[in-house]
Amino acid sequence: MFKLLLVIISPAVAFFIYFFHRDKYEKEPLGLLLKAFSVGLILLALAIILEIPLLNLLRLLSLPALLNAFLVSFIVAGLIEEVLKFVAFMLFIYPHREFNELYDGIIYAVMLSLGFATAENILRLVPFYHTQLFGFIVFVRTLFSLPAHIFCGIIMGYYLAKARFSGGEKRKTLLLKGLFLAIFFHGSYNFFWFLFGYLAIPLCGLFLPFALSLSRRLISQHLEGGCSKRDLFWPKK
């Protein structure tokens, strides 16, 4: 059981340490970061409650396989899960006084995503703990699924931070852009797996450099943008 717990928690801890130490201006309070992570854990239960009726409906409709895969990927998974993260961020993080730097949007969105992905790992890994597939599923979840959640969190957090320090219609546009892009990339990732199955593993490997490069660029832009809540109009890059 300790081995299982270690496998589930270790990747999340490693990513948390990385993002926490990237914050070079004002470290975020651990209590609020853990709160975001905990909310992410709970969101999986809400996602399941919302997704099961839709999955049952799609089974009854007996749609063509490709259309069914598209709807499951972009609506059942992408839309529901990213909207839940978005709503949680807007309720618990967005109005908080600790959200006073551009990078804060990224780290809190990532913590929500880490919590969600960790809960998902528990759901996916526990049933296979004593099987030969356990190592393979750990490999896929750690190398692809968890980074995919984090990537979507970075994108959403990037735009939510820009919205936090903008005003008027621009703020609404940035909020919607962050949500839309997170849904798009989340749905695309899932649809990719539906299309190619296990053949998606080497193909996802080709996508990783792009995701890593874009993530580093978005993080660097917000770190260079600095702080604070008074910085309402930072220079465009």
Which pLDDT tens digit goes with each residue over 183-206? Answer: 999 999 999 898 888 777 887 777
Q: Between vectors from CA 132 to CA 128 and to CA 138, what angle results, nearest 5°?
A: 60
In the structure, what pLDDT confidence band is assigned to residue 225 with cuts at 50, 70 and 90?
Answer: confident
Closest of 68, 11, 59, 67 to residue 37, by C-alpha = 11
In the structure, what pLDDT confidence band is assigned to residue 237 with cuts at 50, 70 and 90?
Answer: very low
Residue whose entry in the numeric block shows the structure tokens 């393979």: 136
Cα separation, 234 vs 97, whole angstroms: 19
Give the predicted TM-score (pTM) of the model. 0.90
pLDDT of 211 over the 90 cut: no
Per-residue pLDDT, 89: 98
Instruction: Please provide residue 227's backbone torsions phi and psi, each rounded to the nearest 5 degrees.
Output: -130, 170
Neighbours of 147 (CB within 10 A): 20
Per-residue pLDDT, 226: 56
109-118, 204-213, 224-233, range with greatest mean pLDDT = 109-118
| Range name among 37-46, 116-125, 169-178, 194-203 with the lowest pLDDT average | 194-203
- Cβ–Cβ under 8 Å, residues 113 and 71: no
Per-residue pLDDT, 231: 37
Per-residue pLDDT, 137: 86
Cα separation, 147 vs 113, whole angstroms: 10
Give the residue-averaged pLDDT of 26-55: 96
In the structure, what pLDDT confidence band is assigned to residue 63 with cuts at 50, 70 and 90?
Answer: very high
pLDDT of 234 over the 70 cut: no
Q: Which two tokens stand for residue 2?
A: 């300790």
pLDDT of 235 over the 60 cut: no
Length of the chain: 237
| Range name among 32-36, 45-49, 105-109, 142-146 with the lowest pLDDT average | 142-146
